[in-house]
Structure formats: C-alpha cells, structure tokens
C-alpha cells in the first residue's frame, strides 16, 4: 500500500505567533515614541526655569494647544480615512502628541518636582502591571463596552460638578475623589484598549487601526499620570 498523501500546507504555530505579535509590536513602538516625547517635554517644563516661567505666564499657548488637541483627536477618532492613510495618519498623530505633551508639561509645571517624578513612577508601574495582567488573564474586558461607556460619562459628569464647585470654594476631599475616580476609570480603560490591541478576545482592533490603538493607549496613560499628579499634589 502506498503512503497517504501529505496534509495540505497550513500556517504553523510560529507563523501564527509572529502574525499575532506583529501588530502589538508596531503599536508599542509608536507608543514608546509618544511617551518619550511627552516625558521629555514634561522634564523640560519642570526643570528648565525660563521655560517653566514662560508656560505659566502664557496660558494662551496652553489653550491653543488644547484646541489643536481637540481637533486632531476628533479627526483621528471619527474619520476613518485620515486615520488609516499613511503618512497623514502619523502626521496627525504627531501633531496630536505635541499638543497633548505641551498641555501635560504646562500642568506639570505648576507642581513640585517630587510630585511629578512620583506620579511618573506610579504611572509606569500601573501601566506595566495592567499590560502584564491583560496578557495573562482570561477576563475579557472587551465584552464590557456598555460599562466603559457609563464609566466615561461618570468621569465627565463628575469633572463638571467638581469644576463648578471648586471654582467657588476649594474642597480637598472633592478634588481627591474626582482624581481618584479618574485614575481608576482610565486604568480600566487602559486594560480595555490593551486587550483590544492584543486580540484573542470577543472584540479586537484590525491591523489597519494601529494609529487608533496607539492613540487610545497613549491618552489613557497620560490621563492616569495627570490624575495621579492631582492626587499627589493635592495631598501635599
């Protein structure tokens, strides 16, 4: 009897693993560049006294960067064409990153150096822990889209209430409560967006959406840092 024919060629485990890791690696390279740029700007705004004085005394530049941040954020999130078309997607992402970095650096300039470094350190630990957890856990955060929508609304409404109340009278516990809620919610958002990126869950991000993935995780990390900075700064 002749031997049975060989099975048809299939993608092996190694090739599947390479395909699975290709998208996260590309996104994390972009994310690392964004975080390096933001950290550098925060360090300059914190340590270089003339720059620190300039950003404190020129709020108009902050509000201009805020406008750029909003516009580029809306374009990248809502418009599929610019978000996917190279190189415009990376150019828009760079502009977005510069705007948010300037805003983050300006906010950091109003806090002492120890608070900024402590917030950076805690943020790094939280992000590493969340990332490792997302790669190891069987819990699927991508199934909870409705919950994350509600959490986003909670942070938004709480922020409006806190801003109105604190504009009349500063209440430490209210400020701390808002910052704590924000830090927790964006940590959960980080877990959600990380699982969307790595795949093998109910929902995942396609390879074409690498800019959206980097944008989402980057915003989560920056927001965690800013909320932690508020908690540490307010406690002092």
Taking residues 21-34, what's their average pLDDT?
86
| Confidence at 6, pLDDT banded by 50, 70, 90 | low
Task: Kindly report whether the global pTM for this prediction surpasses the value 0.75.
Answer: yes
List of residues 6+ apart from 232 with CB closer than 8 A: 111, 115, 118, 119
Mean of all residue pLDDT scores within the chain: 87
| Confidence at 227, pLDDT banded by 50, 70, 90 | very high
Using CA of residue 158, residue 164, residue 169, residue 170, what is the dihedral sign?
positive
pLDDT higher than threshold 90 for residue 1: no
Residue 2 has a pLDDT of 45
pLDDT in tens, 44-68: 999 999 999 999 999 999 999 999 9
Greatest alpha-carbon span in the chain: 92
Taking residues 203-207, what's their average pLDDT?
77
How far is Cα 82 from Cα 90, in angstroms, rounded to an integer? 9
How far is Cα 145 from Cα 218, in angstroms, rounded to an integer? 19
Name the burial class of residue 210, with classes exposed (0-12), middle (13-18) and buried (19+) by CB atoms within 10 angstroms of its CB: buried
Contact 42, 108 (CB under 8 A): yes
Count of beta carbons in the 10 Å neighbourhood of residue 195: 24
Q: Which of 229, 233, 188, 234 lies closest to 105 in space, CA to CA?
A: 229
pLDDT in tens, 63-96: 999 999 999 999 999 888 888 888 999 999 999 9
């Amino acid at each position: 009897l002749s031997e049975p024919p060989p099975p048809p060629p299939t993608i092996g485990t190694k090739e599947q693993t390479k395909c699975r890791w290709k998208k996260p690696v590309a996104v994390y390279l972009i994310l690392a560049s964004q975080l390096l740029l933001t950290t550098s700007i925060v360090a300059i705004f914190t340590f270089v006294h003339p720059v620190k004085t300039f950003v404190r005394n020129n709020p108009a530049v902050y509000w201009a960067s805020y406008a750029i941040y909003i516009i580029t954020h809306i374009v990248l999130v809502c418009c599929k064409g610019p978000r996917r078309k190279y190189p415009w997607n990376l150019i828009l992402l760079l502009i977005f990153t510069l705007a948010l970095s300037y805003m983050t650096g300006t906010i950091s300039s109003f806090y002492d150096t120890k608070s900024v470094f402590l917030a950076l350190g805690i943020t790094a630990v939280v992000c590493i822990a969340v990332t490792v957890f997302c790669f190891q856990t069987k819990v699927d955060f991508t199934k909870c889209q409705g919950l994350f929508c509600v959490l986003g609304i909670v942070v938004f409404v709480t922020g409006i209430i806190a801003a109105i109340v604190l504009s009349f009278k500063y209440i430490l516990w209210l400020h701390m409560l808002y910052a704590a809620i924000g830090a927790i919610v964006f940590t959960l958002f980080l877990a959600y967006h990380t699982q969307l990126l790595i795949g093998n869950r109910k929902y995942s991000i396609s390879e074409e959406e690498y800019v959206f993935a980097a944008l989402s995780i980057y915003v989560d990390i920056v927001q965690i840092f800013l909320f932690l900075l508020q908690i540490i700064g307010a406690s002092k």
